[in-house]
Amino acid sequence: MLKYIATFILIGGLATLQNVSAEPVEIDELKDNMAKLADKLPPAAKKQVSYKKDIQPYFEKSCVNCHGPKKKPKGKYRIDTRELALKGGSEGVSIIPGKSKESPFSYYITDQVIDYEMPPTSKREKYPMPTKEQIGLILAWIDQGLKYDN
Ligand code: HEC
């Protein structure tokens, strides 16, 4: 019996080390783990996304107060114009248009990067997290080229 328990613990330990279960990672480990973490992203929406209808209302509710023109933007990041969203923040570029699975942004909004859960976990009463459907729309919006004009 003890032998079984020991084996079990050992396998569990190894699994954690290799991150086979794709647990959230530290920001400096994100790049190396992206392929695995990508499996946890919900599917991108299939439809043609409209920024004004599908994306902007959510961003205004949950992101723009911290990442907009009002005050000093958090993480030096603004999301309210295409140019600024593409420029990135203190961690560099987070969106690669056309490539949601290679964009750090996708992992922030799905709580897969420790201390970069967006919106921040402690503020979700005021700034609700995206639903699975909203995440799908945001991923499709990135894949479709990050349009702000439709
Ligand atoms: C209550 C304020 C707040 C809200 C709301 C918020 N964020 Fe953030 N965001 C932060 C802070 C603070 C950081 C910097 C994190 C750090 O340095 O640990 C950050 C960092 C980021 C970054 C990385 C910027 C960089 O390069 O460092 C991105 C991208 C981001 N947020 C996107 C979003 C999105 C998308 C939303 C809405 C779904 C959102 N945030 C909502 C506070 C907020």
Q: How far apart are alpha carbons 125 and 121 in whole angstroms?
A: 9
Average pLDDT over residues 124-148: 98
Q: Is the CB of 101 under 6 A from ligand 1?
A: no
As given in the structure block, the two tokens for residue 83 are 């140019």
Q: How far apart are the first and last CA of the chain?
A: 63
The confidence band for 71, taking pLDDT boundaries of 50, 70 and 90, is confident
pLDDT at 10 over 90: no
CA-proximal residue: ligand 1, atom 31 (nearest) = 118
CA-proximal residue: ligand 1, atom 19 (nearest) = 75
Closest to 118 measured CA to CA, from 42, 64, 57:
64
Closest to 108 measured CA to CA, from 149, 70, 147, 79:
79
Q: How far apart are alpha carbons 127 and 58 in whole angstroms?
A: 9
pLDDT of residue 9: 63
pLDDT of residue 126: 98
Q: Is the CB of 67 under 6 A from ligand 1?
A: yes
pLDDT of residue 31: 96
As given in the structure block, the two tokens for residue 139 are 């991923």
Backbone phi and psi for residue 34, each to the nearest 5 degrees, phi listed first: -55, -45
Q: Is the CB of 106 under 6 A from ligand 1?
A: no
As given in the structure block, the two tokens for residue 32 are 């190396």
Q: Is the CB of 115 under 6 A from ligand 1?
A: yes
pLDDT of residue 12: 62
Residue 141 near residue 50, CB atoms below 8 Å: no
Cα(62) to ligand 1 centroid in Å equals 10
Average pLDDT over residues 76-96: 98
As a dihedral over the C-alpha atoms of residue 103, residue 104, residue 110, residue 111, rounded to 10 degrees, the angle is: 170
pLDDT of residue 17: 55
